[in-house]
Structure 1
Amino acid sequence: MAMATIKDVAKLVGMAPSTVSRAMHDSPLISEATKKKVRAAMEELNYSPSFTAQNLANKSNNLVGVILPANQADVSDNPFFIQIIQGISEICNAHGYMLTVASGVNDQELLKNTKMLIEQGQVTCFIFAYSVANDPILNYIKSQKNLRYVVIGTPYELGENSVYFVDNDNIKAGSDATEYLFEKGYTNPTFVYSNLMEIVQNDRYLGYQRAMRVKGLEDTALKLNSTNPQKNQGLVQKFLKENPNVDAFIASDDLLALDVQRQVASEKYGILGFNNSIFAQISNPPLTSVDIFPRFLGLEAAALVINWEDKLLKLKQNSVIVPHKIIERESSQFK
């Protein structure tokens, strides 16, 4: 008897394979009732995700290339990217795809390694684990024929319908984080970032600015170095001397928030980060953080790429928005 495939499960429950994949991997976009129905069908068919010979035989190219940002320090120190790759890997495993990764210490090296994957005929579909303005690697991919790509993050040229992407609503997340601090009793939060050319940081900053305008307040911002924290020594204190009314910090990710936490009396200031990383959970005091579910970002990006490759399916949308959630801990308890 032939082994069951994900398409057999999808046929039994009357759903698209992409929906089945999301249910299998506990996506927050799928209802509990749907997940229960899919699990029952999997049990009935004795289906478990694996690299089956049938899946491999049906695909002329079963490699997905994951392109990491051109900065090894950011990638190696940030669990966000590990969780993204975990999500991508889970979906690829379920569909009989394999992963390869392109990385580099700078744009030139990253572009060279990406070109190598393409020229060797190994990879025709890619997932960008980041989004930045005027990205030379994305521009190169877009210039090539017969290449498919999904961006994790909102594309710089949002009006271009050919760009498939997965993201959170980071403007709303930035606004929600700011409003949360107001609700906790803080009156003048500031925004901490490292690079506003990164769309995700810029969007969170825009959300922060929006919430400040609603309160009739002037926004402020502090730039820190994400790749070499030693260069940040004294910058937070200098900023506070220049902006004595600031009583809380909204950092564009947990690592920046923890850098702030090390430099200030944490019991005096509210501090909030993004990504809900393991570092947020074990810091002292534990860090309030906005969970953007990076594993699910990876899951959804892989589902888009694989559906795009599958000639039996037609995509009905070019984007997926993953929800966010504020995880409250001690760093935002108003004193």
Structure 2
Amino acid sequence: MKYNQVTIKDIARELGISPSTVSRALKDHPDISPETKKAVNELAEKLNYTPNIVALSLRQSKTNTLGVIIPEIVHFFFSTVISGIEDVAYSAGYNVIITQSNESLLREKTDIKALFNSRVDGMLISLSRETSTFEHIDATLAKGVPMVFFDRVYDTPTSSKVVVDDLSGAKEATLHLIEQGCTRIAHLEGPPNLGITKQRLEGYIEALNESNIPVNKDIIMSCPLGTIEEGKSATEALLKMDNRPDAIFATNDPAAMGAMQAIKEAGLKIPQDIAVVGFSNWFFGALLEPPLTSVDQPGFEMGQEAAKLLIRQIEVKSKDNSEPVPETKLLKTRLIIRDSSLKKGKK
């Protein structure tokens, strides 16, 4: 398929110099003046020039390969998403290249460039928690690369996305705690720049408002990395309060696990003293003591839907070079109730 790839000739034409001069300037050749090197490199960056002679010679053909960027492969949720992507991709005759940003914006940028240079037909991306600017994505979209975002999405009207209903999932989790008789429910909040964090906070607040329970910002604790360590530290701070919480709703399961550690180390019982609910339903949450109540996300289905959207976009563009209308798929969550939240002893 065709990409809008900027060439050395384009840069040369824009600056009124020869392609060979541009080539040598990009290679920092000593015969080229500093002024010319500066002009060439600045224009190359502005035009999103990607030097890759081998790839350029092959741009006209499809590779039947999808590139995937996820924050963490070890994350159980993302591993199920990958399974869903592969299920659809392989059935449709596509191979899959998987990269992980390791929650780093720099790595995410590097992964996008690597996948582009590998001539993937399109990319499936879930943003890192550091990603708050999107120039690197816009630059790649401008080259005509089909992209579909999943879970942690770039909210652009030009690309399709697949998300779970985080707001409803968080609301259901909080209402469950209220039904158990909890009235002082703390929230461990995730990375502030991610849409999923905002949706889960909003769902928590909606549940409190509907139940006429005041929203207390003092017991909304920031866990920007969403780790076990942060969950534990935030909960230790909550437990030092004169009027400690009787329940905790965490933005993800690792933070909830950290909360459980802190509660146990303080000599308190779960859920009798403090109930705990997580989000994402990591498989080992059921192995904790007590087993962790959590909001289940349909990761496999998310991967399937994302792959279907991307392949459809690739096929339409390859056939007549037209752009399909972007779609947003909203998938439902499911609250898995276990012993960590059952104060009343019933589901």
Report TM bin, short chain. Answer: 0.7 to 0.9
SS in structure 1 of the partner of residue 148 of structure 2? strand
1:229 to partner: Cα distance: 4.0
Residue in 1 aligned with 2:146?
A: 148
CA distance in 2, matches of 1:145, 1:167: 25
1:157-214 Cα distance to aligned partner (Å, 9 max, x none):
3xx4312100112112211211111112211211113312121122101111122222
Residue in 2 aligned with 1:127?
A: 124
Mapping 1:88-167, distance limit 5 Å: 88-105=85-102, 106-120=104-118, 122-130=119-127, 133-142=132-141, 144-153=142-151, 155-157=153-155, 160-167=156-163
Change (3 A) 1:109 1:316: closer
CA distance in 1, matches of 2:226, 2:174: 25
Contact 1:64 1:126 in 2 (8 A): yes
CA distance in 1, matches of 2:154, 2:109: 18
Residue in 2 aligned with 1:334?
A: 343
Contact 1:251 1:273 in 2 (8 A): yes
Residue in 2 aligned with 1:325?
A: 334
Q: What is the letter of the counterpart of residue 190 of structure 1? A: A
Q: What is the letter of the counterpart of residue 66 of structure 1? A: V
1:309 to partner: Cα distance: 1.5
CA distance in 2, matches of 1:243, 1:189: 15
Counterpart among 60, 81, 99 of residue 62 in structure 2 = 60
Q: What is the letter of the counterpart of residue 339 of structure 2? A: E
Mapping 1:123-272, distance limit 5 Å: 123-130=120-127, 133-142=132-141, 144-153=142-151, 155-157=153-155, 160-214=156-210, 215-219=212-216, 220-224=219-223, 226=225, 229-230=228-229, 234-242=233-241, 244-264=243-263, 265=268, 266-267=270-271, 268-272=273-277
Determine if the alignment matches structure 1 residue 287 to structure 2 residue 292: yes
Contact 2:231 2:255 in 1 (8 A): no
Contact 1:226 1:256 in 2 (8 A): no
Determine if the alignment matches structure 1 residue 87 to structure 2 residue 84: yes
Counterpart among 292, 304, 325 of residue 299 in structure 1 = 304
Change (3 A) 1:285 1:111: same
CA distance in 2, matches of 1:123, 1:304: 15
CA distance in 1, matches of 2:277, 2:309: 31
Moved more, 224-233 or 127-136: 224-233
CA distance in 1, matches of 2:138, 2:227: 28
Contact 2:231 2:259 in 1 (8 A): no
Contact 2:291 2:339 in 1 (8 A): yes
Q: What is the letter of the counterpart of residue 238 of structure 1? A: A
SS in structure 2 of the partner of residue 302 of structure 1? helix
Structure whose CA Rg is larger: 2
Moved more, 60-69 or 107-116: 107-116
Determine if the alignment matches structure 1 residue 277 to structure 2 residue 301: no
CA distance in 2, matches of 1:113, 1:173: 31
SS in structure 2 of the partner of residue 326 of structure 1? strand
TM-score normalized with structure 2 length: 0.70
1:227 to partner: Cα distance: 6.9
1:130 to partner: Cα distance: 3.6
1:147 to partner: Cα distance: 0.7
1:277 to partner: Cα distance: 1.4
1:154 to partner: Cα distance: 6.2
Q: What is the letter of the counterpart of residue 301 of structure 1? A: A
Contact 2:229 2:258 in 1 (8 A): no
- State the superposition RMSD in angstroms: 2.5
CA distance in 2, matches of 1:317, 1:107: 25
- % identical equivalent positions: 22
CA distance in 1, matches of 2:160, 2:91: 21
Q: What is the letter of the counterpart of residue 153 of structure 1? A: D
Q: What is the letter of the counterpart of residue 224 of structure 1? A: C
Residue in 1 aligned with 2:8?
A: none
1:282 to partner: Cα distance: 0.9
In structure 2, stretches of 5+ residues that fail to align are 1-60
CA distance in 2, matches of 1:117, 1:233: 37
1:79-104 Cα distance to aligned partner (Å, 9 max, x none):
11111111111010110111112334
Mapping 1:40-51, distance limit 5 Å: none
In structure 1, stretches of 5+ residues that fail to align are 1-58, 70-74
Q: What is the letter of the counterpart of residue 110 of structure 1? A: E
